[in-house]
Structure 1
Amino acid sequence: MVITLVRRVTAACLLGAALSACAATPHQAPRVTRPAPSTASAPSTASAPSTTSAPPTLAPGPGGLTPVFKHGSRARGRTVALTFDADMTAGQGARAAAGEHFDNPGLIAALRALKVPATVFMTGRWAEEYPDQARSLGRDPLFEIANHSYSHYAFTDDCYGLPTVSGDRMRADVERAYAAFRKAGVPDARPYFRFPGGCYDRRALKALTPVGVTAVQWDVVSGDAFATDAQAVSRQVLEGVRPGSVVVMHCTRSAAPTTERVVRTVVPELRARGFRFVKVSALIGS
């Protein structure tokens, strides 16, 4: 499961991994495309879109590589996207069976109560463990489901201690996650992918080109992974948000226990500052 992103190379790293950006490739210019559904694309085959147009994606980067999106326009209104990584690794089933919570219903209830649109980057293993919750999120128009790999294994070497997916298995791992979403009843998973740990390189971008996804990173690290001080996390988010920001957080109770309290703090404050919450697809589309 774990995804968490930033700065801890301890045993906790498996979760904290996703919080830090270790991208080796520069951000691609946000040239937006809206491709027609294709049976060659995992996002297309993984769902039956309820709308006539496909979700917006970025055009391929140099050399046809998978494009990377980090934030939206700074000049088109005070919008911000809250994103939540639903992490669970392929090998954590025994921990879940023993009572560890990789889900966070309280956080989801808070987002619904506050009417905050959000993008959930889900691992296939999480969808298998919590199919009812995955289906509920996938069918709620307040949320959109995006891909965070099946196994939460890293797509580069030396990524915060995460196990590594071999180059010839990267595409299959992403497609397996879409299959898990479909099996859980998610009707319209988005063609967006977040690398476990935020770690990618040219080889990883090339491996995913046939899948047709846009890789989504972030420009604001919440610091909620393993955090116990909700006020400190809230300050970090509020200090980092700018127009068009993508904020990375987590919806795993065992690894990010403060996130619900953070959301209940930052959402009213950002709205008071004039920010409007949108999904990642809205930032890409703008």
Structure 2
Amino acid sequence: MITVKQTVLILIFFVLIGCQAQQAGSLSLLDESNVKRPVPSFLVDNGKEQLIAKYENKTPTEFGENVSGVYTHFSSSKKEIALTFDACGGSHGNDVDEALIAFLKENKLPSTLFMNSRWIDQNTALFQELARDPLFQIENHGTHHKPLSVNGQSAWGISGTASVKEVIEEMKENQNKIEELTGKKPTLFRSGTAYYDDVAVQIAQDLGVQIVNYTILGDAGATYNAQQVKDALLRAQPGDIALLHMNQPTSGTAEGVKKAIPVLQKNGYTFVQLHSQHLQ
């Protein structure tokens, strides 16, 4: 028979055990190391939220093609030139200058191709073919082909990105697309119109992106005739970066390049891609 005294002792024992369990449970809730928190999005989204917080209240002091931090040429002790070709995309820019591409291939001319997201969407098979060819270095020409600005500044009638968020997306969305299609992440960027503000350039640097413009205006947005393209290229100096277009087959770009390259080669010039160069 269990006595009354034993019964009371048993009840006290279970009360004490229950209190200890409750205390342990309370401690585990207060111990933040045991709590699984969601990973902040900036840690999984290339610092997006962190960058927005860093730059959202900064006011640009420069806007143009030669803003501080924009690379326009490279260091070389040799007679080297970089040929770069933009593929802009959009309603007036989705075409392919097949004659130009064929000439680059036939003459084994290393080139850097800045590809816009819209052009890639319309020419995906060709894009992948070019990306597989070691003759071509694939880089980023933006998602929507906009000037890169934190407050919507425009160039050549095209409105720029209007916030830090849009600056990041203009670069990162197409960068991600190119990486998904090729397995390689582009680290160079040229905006639509080649215009930037200085805050946008700083954002790019924080993202590990180098912004590259030019020293030679090779075809002036594919508006030059063949002779003008040739004349522009023949003014090249060692370390120059030439800006041309590969998406306007009715322009003078292909013929001008065809006329200029043999002359440049005769004068001792060779052609290089930008990924191995020391940009300045």
TM-score by length of structure 2 reads 0.70
- Structure 1 residues 274 and 225: alpha-carbon distance in aligned structure 2, compared to 1, 3 A threshold: same
Counterpart residue number, 1:282? 276
Where does the alignment leave 5 or more consecutive residues of structure 2 unmatched? 1-62
One of 90, 95, 99 as aligned partner of 1:102: 95
**Secondary structure, counterpart of 1:281 in structure 2:** coil
**Runs of 4+ that moved beyond 6 A:** none
Higher helix share: 2
Alignment of 1:1-286 (within 5 A): 22-23=64-65, 25-26=67-68, 67-73=69-75, 76-89=77-90, 92=91, 101-156=94-149, 157-167=153-163, 168-183=165-180, 185-227=181-223, 229-239=225-235, 241-253=236-248, 257-284=251-278
Q: Which moved more, 1:203-212 or 1:191-200?
A: 203-212
Q: Report which of the two structures shows the higher radius of gyration computed on alpha carbons.
A: 2
Paired residues, what number? 214
- Structure 1 residues 274 and 70: alpha-carbon distance in aligned structure 2, compared to 1, 3 A threshold: same
Percent identity, aligned pairs only, is: 25
* Alpha-carbon distance in structure 1 between the residues aligned to 2:66 and 2:237: 24
- Structure 1 residues 101 and 174: alpha-carbon distance in aligned structure 2, compared to 1, 3 A threshold: closer
Where does the alignment leave 5 or more consecutive residues of structure 1 unmatched? 1-20, 27-66
**Secondary structure, counterpart of 2:127 in structure 1:** helix
* Alpha-carbon distance in structure 2 between the residues aligned to 1:249 and 1:123: 14
* Alpha-carbon distance in structure 2 between the residues aligned to 1:210 and 1:228: 36
**Secondary structure, counterpart of 2:234 in structure 1:** helix
**Does structure 1 conserve the Cα–Cα contact (< 8 Å) formed by 2:87 and 2:245?**
yes
- Structure 1 residues 238 and 150: alpha-carbon distance in aligned structure 2, compared to 1, 3 A threshold: same
TM-score by length of structure 1 reads 0.69
TM-aligned CA deviation for residue 281 of structure 1: 1.6
Deviations 1:190-214 (A, max 9, x none): 3100122111111211232332111
Deviations 1:91-147 (A, max 9, x none): x3xx6xxxx752222211110001000000011111111101111111100000011
TM-aligned CA deviation for residue 72 of structure 1: 1.3
> Which is bigger in relative contact order (C-alpha 8 A, separation at least 6)?
1
- Structure 1 residues 232 and 285: alpha-carbon distance in aligned structure 2, compared to 1, 3 A threshold: closer
